[in-house]
A and B are shown apart, each in its own frame.
Chain A
């Protein structure tokens, strides 16, 4: 079982470039989310989705777009990369939006913006 798969694992971008971080899960989970992890700040929620066609903003959404056309996929788009977006990005999923559900995390994407 693949679980939550994130690609790429590493990426270096120049300021102003755009790119899409991919996230796919094969567990038929309704809830998916994106977090960024920065030193000394833990993980912060960027965007989340409670099901196909439904997305909403988290704590730090500026500079990022998401879409959820299928249950399986939840890509995160950086529109115009900035050095402040250098971070480790984690995608997570859970069966539904119930608060008691632990999140299943992908292995992360390490992104550097020069």
Chain B
């Protein structure tokens, strides 16, 4: 069975702090894809990043960085120097492919960045 666990329900930080959002996944597939989506207070879902199971290189995009470790089945997301605009719910998701394209979502982490 496939599963995504985001153990942190809510995180509150003060602006300019660094924050890491945890994501742990379970799958028996050898090929799979991991995603992060952002849901700001306005409600839409915004794609942030995709990572395939064969690429364990960390990725950095501005203040955002992602750490993928197959050994611990984790795909953690770090925001450096957080800003109020980063306040949102962040979802980690897993897609194992197969006959269908099914995203399995974690329950999300609500990040509140205080000014």
Q: Chain A residues in contact with chain B, CB under 8 A?
A: 31, 33, 35, 40-45, 48, 50, 56, 58, 88, 90, 92, 94, 96-108
With A88-B43, A90-B45: A98-B97 Cβ-Cβ less than 8 Å: yes
A-B contacts, 5 of them at CB < 8 A, read A42-B4, A94-B101, A96-B101, A99-B33, A102-B50
| Chain B contacts for A103, CB-based, 8 A | 45, 47, 103
A42-B108, A56-B100 are known contacts; what are 14 more A-B pairs with Cβ within 8 Å? A42-B91, A42-B105, A42-B107, A44-B105, A45-B102, A45-B103, A48-B101, A88-B43, A97-B100, A99-B32, A99-B33, A100-B97, A101-B101, A103-B103
Q: What are the nearest 8 A-B pairs in CB distance?
A: A99-B97, A42-B105, A105-B45, A97-B101, A99-B95, A102-B47, A43-B105, A42-B107
Closest Cβ of chain B: how far from A46's Cβ, in Å? 11
A108–B43 contact, CB under 8 A?
yes
Known: A99-B95, A100-B33, A107-B44. A43 touches B100 (CB 8 A): no
Residues from chain A with a CB closer than 8 A to the CB of B33 are: 99-100
Contact in complex: B52, A100 (CB < 8 Å): yes
Contact with A along B33-53 (1 / 0, CB 8 A): 101010000011101001010
B51 shortest CB reach to chain A, Å: 10
Bound Cα distance from A58 to B32, whole angstroms: 19
From B45, B95, B98, B105, name the one whose CB has the most chain A CB atoms within 10 angstroms. Answer: B45
Looking at the complex, which one of B43, B103, B107 makes contact with A107 (CB distance below 8 Å)?
A: B43
